[in-house]
Amino acid sequence: MNSSEEIAVSGMSAGRSAMRMGPAELVQAAAMARRFYLEGKSKIQIAEEFGVSRFKVARVLETALERDLVRIEIRVPAELDAERSDALRARYGLRHAVVVESPAEAEESPDPENLGEVAADLLGELVNEGDVLGLAWGRSTIHMAAALDRLPPCTVVQLTGVYDAGTAERGSVEAVRRAAQVSGGDAHPIYAPMLLPDAATATALRNQTGIARAFEHFDKVTVACVSIGSWEPGISTVHDMLSDEERAHYASLGVAAEMSAHLFDSEGRRVGRDLGERCITVKADQLRRIPEVVAIAGGQRKGPAIDAVLRSGLVTSLVTDTSAADYLMTAGPAPKSALNRTDPDGV
C-alpha cells in the first residue's frame, strides 16, 4: 500500500446507518476490513479464517464502505495540492503537474523558492541513469539545483547562456555543476551571456570550443528543466537585458512570455524570432524534441505567461503554485494537449 494512503477502520464510531448492524456483525466487519485494508490479506484468506465464502467477505467489505464503517483517506504532504495538480494536468494535457501551496506572505511573488525544492524531488523521479539533463537559466532552476540531493548518474548540460557573465559562478554554471556533482556525471557549462549585442558576436561565441561542446549535447537531452518569464521588469530575463527601444519593438509584436530567450504571444506562438540570432540558447525545435521538458514557474503575476508557454507545445510537465494554478484553470478555452508537441505556428 502506498505510504500516502491511510485507511481508518472503526467499529464503535461508525455512522448511524452502520449501527443498524448488530454488534456481532459490526465486530466481524471491522475485523475483516482490518485484515483486508491494513494487513493486506486477500478475500480468500479472510474467508478461510472466518469460515465464510469469499463472496460474503466481498459483500461485508462493500457494506463497510457504504455505511462509513471504513473510511479511506488519501493524503499527500500538506504543501502539495493534489486536486489542483490533477485538474491542471488534465486541462493542459501535461504528463506531470505538481501544484504547491503558495506561501501566504508571498502569493504575488514570482517563483517561490519552495517550487525549486519540489522540482528537485520531481527530477529525482524523472531522470534515469544515462540520461542527459539540460538546465536553462532562471531563478527557479537555480533554486532547484541547490535543493537536489539525489540523481542517478547522468550528463548535465547548460541550455542557455547566463543573465550576467559576472554572476555565472553563482547562477546557471553553478547549477550545472551542482547537478553533476549530485549525479556523479559530466558537466557541460556555458561561460557566456545569454544575449549578445549582435548576431555576429553570438555566432563567434557558439564556435568557441567549450560552448560548441555544450551545444553538441542539445540534441541528446532527454530531460530539460526551464523557467518561464513574464514580459515585465524583474520577472523576465530577456526583458531586462534589452534597451527601451527593443522592449517596445517586441511588445508591439504581442509578446506575453519568454522561456530560454524565446518569446511567445498569448496563444503560444513564437514572436520576435530574430532575437534568437543574438542569443546563446537551445533552439525551440530542439526543446520540442526533448522527451521531458519540466517548467518551474509560479506566482499570480506569472499566470498569463505560464499559460502562453504551455500553449506553445514545448513543455510536457509543470511545477507551479496555487496562485498561478487558480489563474490557469480559468485562462480562456482549454488548449490542445501539451503532449501533442505541435508548433502553434504550424511551421
pLDDT score of 232: 85
Distance CA 89, CA 84 (A): 8
H or E segment and range at residue 326? helix 322-328
- HSE-CB at 236 with a 13 A cutoff on CA atoms is 27
From-to residues of CATH 3.40.50.1360 in the chain:
80-330
In the CATH hierarchy, which top-level class contains the domain 80-330? alpha beta
Which residues pair with residue 162 across a beta bridge? 193
pLDDT score of 172: 76
pLDDT score of 1: 37
Report the candidate in 153, 228, 138 with the shortest Cα–Cα distance to residue 187.
153
pLDDT score of 75: 61
Distance CA 42, CA 22 (A): 25
Distance CA 292, CA 166 (A): 31
Q: Which residue has the cell 505567461?
A: 305
pLDDT in tens, 315-325: 999 999 999 99
From-to residues of CATH 1.10.10 in the chain:
23-67
Q: Is the dihedral of CA 260, 257, 312, 293 positive or negative?
A: positive
Residues in the chain predicted with pLDDT less than 70, given as ranges, are 1-23, 73-78, 104-111, 164-171, 341, 346-347
pLDDT score of 16: 40
pLDDT in tens, 162-210: 875 444 445 678 899 999 999 999 999 998 889 999 999 999 999 999 9
Q: Which CATH architecture has domain 23-67?
A: Orthogonal Bundle (1.10)
pLDDT score of 170: 52
Report the candidate in 264, 320, 315 with the shortest Cα–Cα distance to residue 297.
320
pLDDT score of 112: 74
- Its pTM stands at 0.76
